[in-house]
Amino acid sequence: MSEKKEGFYFFLKGLHQKYEDISTKLSNPDIVNNKKEYKNLSKEISKLSPLNDKYLEFKKFNDQRDDAKELIEISDEAELIEMAEMEVSELDGRLLQLENEIKVLMVSDEVADNRNVFLEIRAGAGGNEASLFASDLLRMYTRVAERRGWKSEIVSTNLSAIGGIKEIVIYIKGKKANKYLKYESGVHRVQRVPITESSGRIHTSTVTVAVMSEIDDVEIEINSKDLRIDTYRASGAGGQHVNKTESAIRITHFPSGIVVSCQDESSQHKNKDKAMKMLKSKLYEYEENKKKSEQSSARKEQVGSGDRSEKIRTYNFPQSRVTDHRVSEKNFNVETILDGSLDELVRMLTDHFTKILINNKLKEILA
């Protein structure tokens, strides 16, 4: 067995032992009576369980293969040797398939994948044209939610004078929402002739998208002393009030400088609840980005494409083409993409980043 495979299987054996250790702890009365520790261990074993099952399946087939190989070495019957060689060949195929499945599971996070998300769209360079394209992206993500049977609702809105979007936050709730949308974070560039352009000159504008997964209360703690909560009247484009009571909420988190607001509910209580959820998501992202900045250059390369300061995609209207610069081997029809048909693009992005994550994980194992 190669050094690479030995390291890989040693890692799997270690995960199996960790699974067994946690199982033992969970049967301990002292742990059972400690609700917080019991909950944490239950979540950890739930995360390890799919990998442990695959490891046990892999071990069974590998043992069968070893037995067949041994039979080939000790037997002097041609028919028996031929049958054993066929079994080895079949088991090699099963083991390779399982190995690939295990590698994907090693870098997967079912809990994170199943989170709901807050999706923030901000107009960037390009003035009014950027705000109009932000409206197009809002429709695109709304259509994605409709196609996948998800629920989407607006949390906060800041409109431009011409009816475009300066900034908007939508909450998307549905199965695998975070897994599907997480690679949308970044700068989206549009190239097209604006409606107001009489000479037919193509303009380039940008819109920033940030995807923040919804975080459970137990995952991040916020000290109320670190917050300032302001109430104000919600307003629409041009400052027009959309209600006469101070139902809108703005929350400032002093240590991080993060400010969130919610105004689209008529109830102050509901706006505050949504704003707090969004704040927790932003703080989680803030802390994760701090961790990432401290990692090695390899790790930075792995997560770099998720940085919102990078241009990830270009929507070229004159050529009716969408190019995602992370998987640029294929272009997509601009109208199809803006209508929310992202399945093939998402699959390509998922495959691309999964391969990177697996390679980096294997490097960690062999380091």
pLDDT tens for residues 334-365?
999 999 999 999 999 999 999 999 988 888 87
In the chain, the percentage of residues whose pLDDT exceeds 90 is 54
Topology of 111-357 in CATH?
Alpha-Beta Plaits (3.30.70)
Which of 189-203, 207-221, 234-248, 249-263 comes out lowest in average pLDDT?
Answer: 234-248
Residues in the chain, overall count: 367
> How would you class 241 by CB atoms within 10 Å of its CB: exposed for 0-12, middle for 13-18, buried for 19 or more?
exposed
pLDDT (tens digit, 9 = 90+) per residue, 9-33?
888 899 999 999 999 999 999 998 9
Sheet order of strands, 203-213 included: 151-159, 165-173, 117-123, 203-213, 186-192, 311-316, 321-324, 331-333
Which of 77-86, 151-160, 240-249 comes out lowest in average pLDDT?
Answer: 240-249
Mean pLDDT, residues 244-265: 83
Ordered by start, the domain boundaries in the chain are 3-106, 111-357
User: Residue 239's pLDDT is what?
Assistant: 43
Q: How confident is the model at residue 277 (pLDDT cuts 50, 70, 90)?
A: confident
Give the contacts of 66 (CB within 8 A, at least 6 positions apart): none
Statement: 3-106 belongs to CATH 1.20.58? yes
Q: How far apart are CA 364 and CA 106, in angstroms?
A: 12
Mean pLDDT, residues 228-245: 62
For the question of whether the overall pTM of this predicted structure is more than 0.85, the answer is no
Mean pLDDT, residues 109-137: 92
Mean pLDDT, residues 49-72: 93
User: Residue 303's pLDDT is what?
Assistant: 34
pLDDT (tens digit, 9 = 90+) per residue, 91-101?
999 999 999 99
In the chain, the percentage of residues whose pLDDT exceeds 70 is 88
Which of 40-44, 70-74, 112-116, 295-299 comes out lowest in average pLDDT?
Answer: 295-299
Q: Which of 3, 44, 2, 39 has the alpha carbon at shortest distance from 21?
A: 44
Indicate if the pLDDT at residue 306 is higher than 70.
Answer: no
Query: What is the CB neighbour count within 10 angstroms for residue 90?
Result: 14
Indicate if the pLDDT at residue 296 is higher than 50.
Answer: no
